[in-house]
Amino acid sequence: QKEVEQNSGPLSVPEGAIASLNCTYSDRGSQSFFWYRQYSGKSPELIMFIYSNGDKEDGRFTAQLNKASQYVSLLIRDSQPSDSATYLCAVNLSSAGNKLTFGGGTRVLVKP
Amino acid sequence: DAGVIQSPRHEVTEMGQEVTLRCKPISGHDYLFWYRQTMMRGLELLIYFNNNVPIDDSGMPEDRFSAKMPNASFSTLKIQPSEPRDSAVYFCASTRGLYEKLFFGSGTQLSVL
């Protein structure tokens, strides 16, 4: 099992719909979770972080964390073509000395 | 602030040659990371420094790779000798704390022929 796992996609959603991305991680003791967005040919940029169980909202983005089930998700509401990118889940894995470990990313395509 | 600065942006070299990638972190950031990104393996952590000291180099693929951070404002990643399988995008990133937001440089696209 990969330490941080994501569906590679592509996840195709129509403009205005909700995009739902999931990420599972291997270490139950992990405490910090991040979502980065990466446009093609560009570097990753942070869009959300979450430390506590439950939901965290920031604009059109909502991060959801469930430590008992070891998953973190990202919802993108009212998806726009500009949201088309690869979304990387990252976790400070306690089993790896708290290094920030990235999943393989989910490619999202928002169609007008 | 100019952000994390990497050079060169692109590097094309022949197998067996030495390659040196450079990074200037954001001033005041105590942590510096070197990542490698490929389609097959995604974004992999190679090594990270805290206050110029290498903390974890377990991701460095083999002895051909070495990294240094002689001061708080400069780091290098060296590959000697380079091989075609080293072709990837190499990112440098910095942050104030281990659990905080990473700021990435623009990356170096390395092609080893």
Q: Which residues in chain A are closer than 8 Å to B105, comparing Cβ atoms?
A: 43
Best B104, B106, B109 residue to mutate vs chain A (most A CBs within 10 Å): B104
Average pLDDT per block of 10 residues along chain A, 112 residues long: 88 97 92 95 95 95 95 97 97 83 96 94
Q: Before B81, cis peptide (omega within 30)? A: yes
Using a CB–CB cutoff of 8 Å, tell me whether B1 touches chain A.
Answer: no
Distance CA A70, CA A27 (A): 8
List of chain A residues whose C-beta atoms are within 8 Å of the C-beta of residue B56? 97, 99
| pLDDT at B1 (0 to 100) | 64
Q: From CA B46, how far away is CA B54, in angstroms rounded?
A: 11
B60: phi > 0 → left, psi -120 to 50 → alpha, else beta; which?
beta
pLDDT at position A10 is 95
Q: Give me the phi and psi of B102, to 5 degrees please.
A: -90, 135
CB-based contact, B25 to chain A, within 8 Å? no
Give the pLDDT of residue A25: 94
Q: How far is B13 from chain A (nearest CA, A)?
A: 20
> Which residues of chain A does B101 touch, with a Cβ-Cβ cutoff of 8 Å?
34, 46, 49
- Report the pLDDT value the prediction gives residue A1, as an integer from 0 to 100: 64
Partner-chain contact B105 A98, CB within 8 Å: no
Mean pLDDT, each 10-residue run in order, chain B (113 residues): 92 97 97 95 94 94 94 97 97 93 96 97
